[in-house]
Structure 1
Amino acid sequence: MLKAYKFRIYPNEEQKVYLAKTFGCTRFVYNKMLADRIKSYEENKELDIKTMKYPAPAQYKNEFEWLKEVDSLALANAQMNLDKAYKNFFRNKSIGFPKFKKKTNTNNYTTNNQNGTVYIENSHIKLPKLKSMIKIKQHRQFDGLIKSCTVSQVPSGKYYISILVDCENIELPKTDKKVGVDLGIKEFAITSDGEIFSNPKHLKKSEKRLAKLQKDLSRKQKGSNNRKKARIKVSRLHEKIANQRKDMLHKVSTQLINENQVIVIEDLKVSNMIKNHKLAKSIADVSWSEFRTMLEYKSKWYGREIIIAPSNYASSQLCSNCGNQSNQTKDLSCRTYICPVCGMIMDRDINASKNLLKLAM
């Protein structure tokens, strides 16, 4: 099974220069190939697009000799990424046509472990084309064959490496326990067992600090060192909020996976829900989509089952006792479900989670 492990790395000044060159070269090759494809299509519209042949990164090295200074596998992966973007576009036009990569504060490139060129030794990692090894903070160990790795630099200036490993999968012992999970904003998640996972609202807690830092940034002169320092402060706070959110999501998803064999969750259309401008910020902060992604891949790792309720399943409007449907909970201010038929009184979120649990029975 393929698993990715992300670690922070600490390159020295010489290594930072090489990484910056590789980031720039992969971005240049991607943009150059995309521009050539667009030009070729405009000149040969009458031909079948599937029969067209385009230049490979190796062909650019004769014209741009500085491309030889970086890892050729990183350039080859840039071509693969462009091919994938094209395939996704022709498979589903709503995804959008591939876009040119901008020179931003977020950079990355991917290389493969060809002939054992990538390995970790004495808290240092060896990368292709680099003579010296980069210091790595390996906070967890793994056993398996390294397939590839992605080096990235985030806006705060920190460097990370994500290592894709082909390792043996160890499943958790099976259990008979099943649970329905209702996701919300007031409380992050409520289970059919009555357990409540509170919503920490990390963004809301940091909004005042973030607003001040952004105001300071806007007042700095463009191109100045003070503006660069102010931008890094804003980036670090955004990174802290994102890390707090991911930490919470990992802890909740891991607990649910460890304790339950079957987990039932809602099929929430977040892209539609976020159009509600009154709740958009809260919905984005709670990150339901990422939580669902975590549950799905962890269930594959550990031999659990995830059931996604149909989008038309009215879990909040049904009575978990008699099955009667009532529209009272369409009003979000209504926090208690009162069944007009059987008289059951229950918290609306616990009632919804019990209805979701019925899909696992």
Structure 2
Amino acid sequence: MTKRAYKYRFYPTPEQEQLLARTFGCVRFVYNSVLRYRTDAFSERKEKVGYTAANAHLSKMKKAEETAFLSEVSSVPLQQCLRHQQTAFNNFFEGRAKYPVFKSKRHRQSAEFTRAAFKYQESQLFMAKSKVPLAIRWSRALPSGPSTLTVSKDAAGRYFVSCLCEFIAESLPITPRMIGIDLGLKDLFVTSDGHRTGNPRHTAKYATQLTKAQRVLSKKKLGSGNRAKARKRVARVHAKISDCRMDSLHKLSRRLINDNQVICVESLKVKNMVRNPRLAKSISDAGWGEFVRQLEYKAEWAGRQVARIDQWYPSSKRCSGCGHVVGVLPLSVRAWDCPACAVRHDRDINAAINIKAAGLAVLALGENVSGMGPVPVSCSR
């Protein structure tokens, strides 16, 4: 048994919309107030405020007259936001993330409900303090009753509910196919058998529409209702781009998982790569990190394997035939001749073949392959 989140869109009634607006506002207020309290306590008194002290501060806020409105919504989302804040601080102190930042009302809003704050009955979901079930567009049935609900509203004004459920992952039949993929920009990835996927370039596809919406937004008066409407139009275009990108990545990753037993990929440092001002927009639009993440968790569910090779492995510079490594190979060079064996290589296909060989070596030897060391040529055949 493992846990999986199922996300659906729903359409709240006017009463539910008001309740959600109050809930989102209270969650945001509590998160920001407690974050300010913890920050001031450390900067002024060098005192670290943990989850227990933050929870006590929330209890005081509820009893105070000026913040009595916190009792109008369910207490569970307020409690959960403190747990998420504690997780954010743990990640910060352990060096995995930056210092937590304040939440804005103009970005995505969310509230998490545990089983004590919702009811699931006959494919109907009831939130706390609401007697009307959520009008959810059920695209597929839940495998079990949800243990946690996360209700969210994106910047485009759409409402979603994410149900965390337990399900039994079914392994796919074992197949002898093994493949290596080279991630890129001209093609999202190229496989070791020569298949090219192309790159849909979703941001460029909607660039004109996005530019017009942003130009209209820039001319609206700050704080006006028309500016809020124009901001929502811009958010809708961004949401369209994001939805198209996620749909494409899910389809491609599912196809690779279904067809191959082993998938070999590079360990790319995308955060460092987007510092290149010329390629940052294209790299972000490609979604390499999300694509590899999808491959990994889908492979785990399906009984497949994803092998990552070292980021410094010279997959493009190495000849997949004889193993010779060239010194310099600019990005503009898409095909090159090996000076040792005189074989002409397509840059991307050659890299994918080397990635497959290195990935299989990782699985066989149980250790990473990095640097300029030799890789058995037989593994790439």
Q: Does 1:72 align with 2:75?
A: yes
* Matching residue of 1:160: 160
Range with greater deviation from structure 2 (30-39 or 166-175): 30-39
Shift of 1:176: 1.8
Shift of 1:88: 0.9
Q: Does 1:38 align with 2:39?
A: yes
TM-score normalised to the size of structure 2? 0.89
Q: Does 1:235 align with 2:235?
A: yes
Change in CA separation of 1:175 and 1:59 when aligned onto 2, cut-off 3 Å: farther
Task: Verify the 8 A CA contact 1:178 1:360 in the aligned structure 2.
Answer: no
Q: Does 1:114 align with 2:113?
A: no
Amino acid across the alignment from 2:101: K
Shift of 1:283: 0.7
CA distance in 2, matches of 1:138, 1:239: 20
* Matching residue of 1:255: 255
Amino acid across the alignment from 1:346: H
Task: Verify the 8 A CA contact 2:26 2:70 in the aligned structure 1.
Answer: yes
CA distance in 2, matches of 1:233, 1:40: 41
Shift of 1:144: 1.9
Q: Percent identity?
A: 39
CA distance in 1, matches of 2:48, 2:226: 53
* Matching residue of 2:104: 102
CA distance in 1, matches of 2:87, 2:192: 41
CA distance in 2, matches of 1:111, 1:7: 15
Task: Verify the 8 A CA contact 1:26 1:109 in the aligned structure 2.
Answer: yes
Shift of 1:95: 2.0
Question: Alignment length, in residue pairs?
Answer: 356
Give deviations 1:216-269, integer Å, cap 9, x for gaps: 111122233322222221111111011111111001100001111111111111
Match of 1:91 among 66, 70, 94: 94
TM-score normalised to the size of structure 1? 0.93
Amino acid across the alignment from 2:207: E
User: How is 1:207-246 mapped onto 2 (pairs within 5 angstroms)?
Assistant: 207-246=207-246
* Matching residue of 2:317: 317
CA distance in 2, matches of 1:51, 1:135: 35
Change in CA separation of 1:112 and 1:56 when aligned onto 2, cut-off 3 Å: farther
Give deviations 1:18-51, integer Å, cap 9, x for gaps: 0000001111111222222233334543x67679
Change in CA separation of 1:307 and 1:226 when aligned onto 2, cut-off 3 Å: same
User: SS at 1:151's partner residue?
Assistant: strand
User: How is 1:276-291 mapped onto 2 (pairs within 5 angstroms)?
Assistant: 276-291=276-291
* Matching residue of 1:351: 350
Q: Does 1:337 align with 2:339?
A: no
CA distance in 2, matches of 1:13, 1:342: 72
Give deviations 1:265-311, integer Å, cap 9, x for gaps: 11111111111111111111111011111111111111111111101
Amino acid across the alignment from 2:294: M
CA distance in 1, matches of 2:258, 2:59: 48
Give deviations 1:85-107, integer Å, cap 9, x for gaps: 11111111x62222222222421
Task: Verify the 8 A CA contact 1:151 1:160 in the aligned structure 2.
Answer: yes
Task: Verify the 8 A CA contact 1:105 1:154 in the aligned structure 2.
Answer: yes
Task: Verify the 8 A CA contact 2:172 2:258 in the aligned structure 1.
Answer: yes
- Gaps in structure 1 of 5+ consecutive residues: none
Amino acid across the alignment from 1:107: Q
Match of 2:84 among 76, 81, 85: 81
